[in-house]
Structure 1
Amino acid sequence: MSSSNRSSRVTPSEEVQTPGGLARLTKTVALATLAVLGASYVLNAMDRQVFPVLLPDIRTEYGFSLGQGGFLATIFTLGIGLAGLPTGYLLDKMSRRGVILLGIAIFSVFTVLTALAVGYWDMFAYRALSGVGEAMQNAALFSAVGAYFFANRALALGSLNFAYGIGSFLGPLLGAQFATSFGDWRAPFFIYGGVGIVLLVVIRLTVSKRFTEQVESKTSVAQGFDHMPQNLYNKNLLLLALTAVVVGVAMYGYIGLYPTFLQEELGFSRGDAGLAASMFGIGALMGLPAGWLGDRLNQRNLMIAALLAGAVVGYLLFNGPTSLGPQVALSFAEGALASGFMFVNIYSSMQRAVRPNMVGRASGLYVASFYIPAAIAGYLFSALVAATGWGGAALWQLTILPLIGVATLAFVDVKKFSNARVAAHH
């Protein structure tokens, strides 16, 4: 029997029936499936976060400037962003599970190729194309999980961000250790790419379409959808997309050059810089409580509060304490606010801003909005550093820019969201 047939045949003990859709898995099987998919997102984050902590070594070997290095550190987001909208439409034509698998295959291959680069432009291409795979996995994964756990959508997406946080913590930390142990910055890319292929096989064999292809039905949602706009590009969605632009540019400005700042400006060792950078990932674990709060509180007000707090933290990261302990604490706070609270709640609110048949395209728009502008975040931050110093760059990109997001969110109407508050059958 093929694995696709296996995935569509679930024993009675593994499923419960719901009206108007595929048979749903039992709670135990659904949570186990979520854990397997979450593991693939751990790896996604590890790949994204390892490059910046290895950047000083890469720059030394290839002779890249700070600007070139900053661009390489965040260029994968261009691939993620450009693939976001096409992936959203691909999800209308192809199974979410199939898109997840294809995405993992693509980013794993180009992660390995990064270690084989001979110069700037082919490394540029490999990092950008790894982002294409990450986008496909991201949009399909978040669409599948958001649809399956629709009644607690923000909490469910928060669990994925929890996985991202684990990867963001392990990626720089293990990457620095692997590079030191093997005496070569290339080692982490070979290892992470290989693990990706293993996870691809595991997901292909164990994840059921009963999980990935669910669609919430109108009969299972308390208030229906009549109060919501019928069109995809409605006012709420566009305002939230603009907020995603702001958060992406600010967050990836920090991610791209923070380890370089610690090593070259503050004199931290590679290990200490890796530790401080990895605390962003520990902060991202706050995606779980952030999602839980997003399901219960006014999401707009929650995001405004997080942006205001993030503006303060962003300033202090590059203008405040210069010792390891406080930098670890500030990096944790940046991860909690930018990745934990903002990423999760913007993503889930964009899904809630559209009707269920448009969730895939809304996810694609989020990915495009968040990641395309983020592609220049590292380069922009390096240009601001050259013009105003590290402290001035942080003031503009990590403090003033988020205030634009606050102003944008003020016009979001949460009364037009789809807020399913009925018990789901899982």
Structure 2
Amino acid sequence: MPLVFFGVLGFVAILVISLTVRPWFTESHARGGERADRGGASTLVNRNTIVLTAMSVIGGFVIYGYLGMYPAFLREGLRYSPTTTGTVMSLYGLGALGSIGGGWLGDRFSPRLVLGLAFLFAAALGFLMFNGSGAVLPQVMLSFGWGIVVSSIIYVNLGGYHVKSLRRSLASRASGIFVTSLYGSSSVAGYVMGWIATQGGWAAAGTIQLSVLSLVAATLALALRPDQMSA
């Protein structure tokens, strides 16, 4: 039943968007070819795209490791009921509603700062979720924070900076690289985290896949060159 409701909401969203959103909201018209295509690299093989691709692969493991295995941790590790588990996970979705603000941060501040700090926060949150208190309230707060940091900031700005790293004429390819790299790793993220949990326990799984990988991504953010991105 919940999935049916979710699907119905999707159709409602399609109807609302088709009736209310106008082309000017999503479509831009360039005044001059060269002016519209300035800024960003003219080839896919450039420093920023390579670094962001590596970070997106890590992001897939981090984001979807959580989505795939955190509910299992709540049920098996903390013995939460299905209702309580659903409540905790709902707070993640609530945090993800901050995506507009996350995108604003990405436009206003340096990608080194935005992604670097966001991945550092993700490392801390991931560690606390799997190594901290098992009480419901702390887990609810951590899940909400995870939604803000990971979905509203990291996910949104990884995609945005991929586009900014290339000329506007290559924007579609930039989006393709982002989707392929992030969802490629996400396809095995749950399996990998489950394997780590089986071998070393939930604490090890959370520490390795969420915290350690996030620290690696935060370090990679320092290699980005904002001056080579489009405005």
Q: What TM-score does the superposition give when structure 1 sets the normalisation length?
A: 0.51
Deviation at 1:192, TM superposition (A): 2.6
Larger Rg: 1
5 Å-filtered alignment, 1:147-186, equals none
How big is each residue's C-alpha offset from its partner over 1:123-180, in whole Å with a ceiling of 9 and x where there is no partner? xxxxxxxxxxxxxxxxxxxxxxxxxxxxxxxxxxxxxxxxxxxxxxxxxxxxxxxxxx
Distance 1:302 1:203, change over 3 A: closer
Residue 207 of structure 2 aligns with an amino acid whose one-letter code is L
- Cα distance, 1:218 vs. partner? 5.1
User: What are the within-5 Å matches in structure 2 for residues 63-78 of structure 1?
Assistant: none
The alpha carbon displacement at 1:289 in A equals: 2.6
2:52 paired with 1:243:
no
Aligned to 1:193: 7
Matched residue type, 1:189: L
Please give the per-residue CA displacement for 1:320-339, whole angstroms capped at 9, x wherever unaligned: 00000000111111111111
User: Cα distance 1:298–1:272, how it changes in 2: closer, same or farther (>3 A)?
Assistant: same
Distance 1:411 1:254, change over 3 A: same
Question: How far 1:203 moved relative to its partner?
Answer: 4.1
Partner amino acid, structure 2, of 1:251: I
Q: What's the counterpart of residue 294 of structure 1?
A: 106
Closer, same or farther in 2 for the Cα pair 1:274/1:220, shift >3 Å? farther
Where does residue 28 of structure 2 map in the other structure? 214
Which one of 250, 255, 265 corresponds to residue 67 of structure 2? 255
One-letter amino acid matched to 1:399: S
Cα distance change on mapping 1:216 and 1:361 into 2, 3 Å? farther
Q: Does 1:228 align with 2:40?
A: yes
SS in 1 for 2:201: helix
Q: Supply the distance in 2 between the matched residues of 1:300 and 1:349 (Cα, whole angstroms).
A: 11
Asked which structure has the greater RCO (Cα within 8 Å, sep 6+), the reply is: 2
Residues 13-412 of structure 1: matches in 2 within 5 Å? 187-217=1-31, 225-412=37-224
Contact in 1 for aligned 2:111/2:224 (Cα 8 Å): no
Q: Is contact 1:215-1:356 (8 Å) kept?
A: no
Cα separation, 1, equivalents of 2:108 and 2:8: 40
- Aligned AA (1:359): A
Supply the distance in 2 between the matched residues of 1:366 and 1:209 (Cα, whole angstroms).
25
Amino acid at match of 2:56: A
In 2, Cα distance between equivalents of 1:282 and 1:251: 15
Distance in 2 of aligned mates of 1:204 and 1:297: 33
Unaligned 5+ runs, structure 1: 1-186, 420-426
Q: Find the residue that maps to 2:113 and give its secondary structure.
A: helix
> Which residue of 2 is the match for residue 11 of structure 1?
none
**Is contact 1:318–1:394 with CA below 8 Å preserved after alignment?**
yes
Structure 1 residue 240, shift from structure 2 partner: 0.8
Instruction: Give the share of equivalent positions with the same residue, in percent.
Output: 34
What is the Cα deviation at residue 416 of structure 1? 0.9
3-state DSSP of counterpart to 1:375: helix
Give ranges in structure 2 of 5+ residues lacking alignment: none
Specify the code of the residue in structure 1 equivalent to 2:28.
Answer: Q
- Other-structure match for 1:163: none
The two structures, once aligned, show a CA RMSD in angstroms of 2.2
**SS of match in other structure, 1:322:** coil
CA contact (8 A) 2:38 2:167 kept: no
